[in-house]
Chains A and B, each alone.
Chain A
Amino acid sequence: DAKTTQPPSMDCAEGRAANLPCNHSTISGNEYVYWYRQIHSQGPQYIIHGLKNNETNEMASLIITEDRKSSTLILPHATLRDTAVYYCIVRVLRSNDYKLSFGAGTTVTVRA
């Protein structure tokens, strides 16, 4: 069973913020939300992760709702190089959990 639901595709304009939604309504209290992206012909790349607080790094911001049933990845100023498939993954960070369970992701196309 899929643990996350993402829209299959979205477009955004270069230079604008891209807001990528993810639903994870069955998330458990000890599960983190992870985001990876995969640029065409490359392997996935880690972006960011969070538990319940909002997080920001040099690549993106992650906003998690208070009930933790959904989250939004924000690319503040999208560039053409941000065109990729973005995967939202929920994962327990514990000693015997290491697999990443990818869904189909959201194909994001940044247009000039």
Chain B
Amino acid sequence: GAGVSQTPSNKVTEKGKYVELRCDPISGHTALYWYRQSLGQGPEFLIYFQGTGAADDSGLPNDRFFAVRPEGSVSTLKIQRTERGDSAVYLCASSLKGRNDNEQFFGPGTRLTVL
């Protein structure tokens, strides 16, 4: 079956611009996660959705970052006034229920480059 998909695969933008990154989770998965991975490091948690609501957004670095999941399926990570330090691979994952799930299924990521 289809896995988690993310678009675009690559995004190059200029400092100060606004970007949106999209995640399509596995159908039927109620839990959705965003992580950010800087070069040479492991992924870092950003935000977790259970259904339509953000159950935990404690990993978002500042208020320039925002994510939505209006219908409980597709999610969009939004970054305002991008900075060079935002350059990273943004990973999305989904799981069946969230809590007590053993496995999170990851997408291939969106590589964001801020010039």
Partners in one complex: yes
Q: How far is the CA of A87 from the CA of B37 in the complex (A)?
A: 13
Could you give 23 example pairs across A and B, Cβ below 8 Å? A42-B108, A42-B109, A43-B91, A43-B106, A43-B109, A44-B43, A44-B104, A44-B106, A45-B106, A46-B105, A93-B102, A94-B100, A96-B99, A98-B33, A98-B48, A98-B56, A98-B99, A98-B101, A99-B56, A100-B43, A100-B45, A104-B41, A104-B42
Residue from A41, A95, A100 within 8 A of B108 (CB atoms): A41
Most buried by A among B41, B95, B103: B103
Total contacting residues, chain B, CB less than 8 A: 29
* A98-B31 in contact (CB<8A): yes
Bound CA–CA A46/B103 (angstroms): 6
* B residues at A contact (CB < 8 Å): 4, 31, 33, 35, 40-45, 48, 56, 59, 91-93, 95, 98-109
Interface size class of A (residues with CB under 8 A): 20 to 34
* Shortest distance from the beta carbon of B114 to any chain A beta carbon, whole Å: 20
Highest count of chain B CB atoms <10 Å: which of A49, A87, A95, A99: A99
